[in-house]
Amino acid sequence: MQTSSSNQFGSKIRQLRENNKLLLRHLAPLLDMDTPHLSKIERGERLAKKNLIPIFAKVLNASQDELFTLWLADQIVDVVKDSNLALDAMMVAEASVKYQIKQKVKE
């Protein structure tokens, strides 16, 4: 079991599910998973698989980009959470991503 110290994705899924007046047992089958698995995702005890993001977005009438951003942020936090150099590493990664985006624009 993988536990995420950041649970922005799971919290958002819970909020969207409640806004749509869906119970866990109603939403889980739409995602082809059991209720306990979905509950663990919402609580941040399990990380959702990337391929589920478009399904979550469609079923919950949510922005796929927003859900992917939250999911990705949780992934990053999970990787760097125990490092004293996490912020430094994220700044280096940010610069690298910005450079790669500029290169793609030039192409």
Return all residues near 73 (Cβ < 8 A) that are at least 6 apart.
6, 8, 9
On average, the pLDDT of the chain sits at: 91
* 100, pLDDT greater than 60: yes
Provide the H-helix boundaries in 21-82. Answer: 24-30, 35-43, 53-59, 64-80
Rounded Cα distance between 38 and 91, Å, is 33
CATH code at position 62? 1.10.260.40
pLDDT single digits (tens) 14-68 = 999 999 999 999 999 999 999 999 999 999 999 899 999 999 999 999 999 999 9
Residues spanned by the domain of 17: 8-81
Is 96 part of any domain? Answer: no
State which amino acid sits at residue 10: G
Enter the tokens of residue 66. 């927003």
* 9, pLDDT greater than 80: yes
Domain count within the chain: 1
Is 63 part of any domain? Answer: yes
